[in-house]
Amino acid sequence: MASMKNPSEVPEQPPLSPADPAPPGSRLRKNLELCTWEGLTAMPLVFLTLPGNFIIALLLTQVFDLRESVYGLIVSLPAWCNVIQLFLMPFLMRRWSQKGLTLAFGWGHLVCWLALAAALPVIPQDNPLVAAQLFFILFLASSFLQSVVGVSWTSWVQEWIPQRLRGTFFGKRNRLCQIATIVFLLAAGQVLAWFEPTDPIRGFQLLMLVAIGLRAFSLFAQQRILGSSPAAQDERAVKWSDQLKLIRGSPSLVWLIAFGAAFGMAANFLGPFFAVFMYDILELNVARVGALVVTSSITGAFSLPGWGRFLDRYGNRPVMVFTLGLWMVMSYGWIFIHPGNTWVLFFLFAGGGVFSAGFFLGSFSLLLKLVPPQAKTAAISFNLAATSITAAIAPILGGGLLDLLSPLVENRLRILQAVALVHHSLVLSTLVILLKVREPRSASVGQVVGAMRSYRQVGALLGLSFLVNYTFIRRAKQAKDPDSET
């Protein structure tokens, strides 16, 4: 992608008629297929874009030796940019469609990563101050462009994906996206291991270029998605101030935004530093950390279709409460981790992959369900800004706290144990706010827990339907033919 396209150059598709709120069957099937392919090929660059991932953590803290406080500042950039986009979206919405914004800023984001890949060899490894300044600028540009893409894409897909299909479709789509991420992470671990003894920078460059090439394919797939809805046209005619009034008049949406802000603060205060601890305190190499992340991605991928069916049947909020609670309680196991028992992390990451998949899929579906149709972009933008401002402040505070504690605590393992206790307790406490959300046509948390008692449901959730069905079919056959047991 040589240059950033002007949004006005993106050809507009004719809106759907009021009697046709979703694209016709053949067009909808084509759009869903293209949406799946664009997600699959976007995942490697999306994964790299968030600086808190283990690959970028390795690059910044181990290769370029940036301090934890500086790393925390860079990790916070996506959240700060999510706040900035709130003030730009009213201006952008009046002039361009959501599809136009998604494509234009998507190409700009890709060009930014081309610049980062090209600049890696010239960034000095022996001068952390200069390296920090250059990385700050490049990740700031990347984060800003991606913040607009995140809002416009979410608003755009709501225009043409019917609500009745969202849980099931995104469950299946996200599973395939997780598989794509797994393949990329397995390849990334091998590539970084090959280049680490000789020229690690070349390894990172290769990964970035592959991710950029796949993202280009993703943007071309997005270009081919057709259709819009009349609500999209009506929304652009509504004043931004009137849209904000619609948001304030939706109490459940306000509570969801408050929960997102609290969750962003709790999760990002100390959460981004677990990747650093795995390298520095637990003494894991990049291959081992990559294997842990892949384990989480695999279990999440297998569970996503099951969570999608649960969300469609029981509702989003009860599933979110159930999954976040179990995820955090299980993760207290970090308190007992030391360099001699790091194999336990595979169980923690495997369980975390299952429960986090259900939680984040539910949060996305719940937001799409609660936003007012005439103010969907404003609601999504405001939600992103409100939840991100706390997520922006949190890692800066967390990094500063760890910088203060490091000289005072001789045994760094104690720091990890304290961080694990505080981090998971803070995240778990945000459930108090989530319980305030009222979701139309949803079950209670108790009903979700009751459904999970059936090992048939659990087997389906974990992608083991074939095994569960075989067990039931085999039992049925045995009941009909007692002689078969001889």
Q: Summarize pLDDT for 58-105 with one digit per residue, the tens.
A: 899 888 988 878 888 888 888 889 888 888 888 888 788 888 999 999
Q: Summarize pLDDT for 148-192 with one digit per residue, the tens.
A: 998 889 888 887 888 778 778 888 898 888 888 888 988 988 898
Instruction: Give me 381's structure tokens.
Output: 């933008």
C-alpha distances in angstroms, 218 versus 37, 38, 103? 7, 4, 10
Q: What is the pLDDT of residue 476?
A: 42
Q: What is the pLDDT of residue 326?
A: 93
- How many Å is the Cα radius of gyration of the chain? 23
Q: What is the pLDDT of residue 165?
A: 80
- Threshold 0.85, pTM exceeds: no
Residues of the chain with confidence (pLDDT) below 70: 1-25, 51, 227-238, 240, 441-486
Query: Using an 8 Å Cβ cutoff, are 5 and 103 in contact?
Result: yes
Task: Report the distance separating Cα 229 and Cα 158, nearest Å.
Answer: 9
- Percent over 90 (pLDDT), the chain: 38
Query: Using an 8 Å Cβ cutoff, are 277 and 338 in contact?
Result: no
Location of structure tokens 């706390």: 390
Report the interhelical angle of 128-160 vs 98-119 (nearest 10°).
160
CATH topology of domain 25-471: Growth Hormone; Chain: A; (1.20.1250)
- Residue 324's closest CA among 431, 252, 419? 431
Q: What is the pLDDT of residue 123?
A: 93
- Residue 181's closest CA among 311, 50, 67? 50
Q: What is the pLDDT of residue 430?
A: 96
Q: What is the pLDDT of residue 18?
A: 36
Q: What is the pLDDT of residue 421?
A: 96
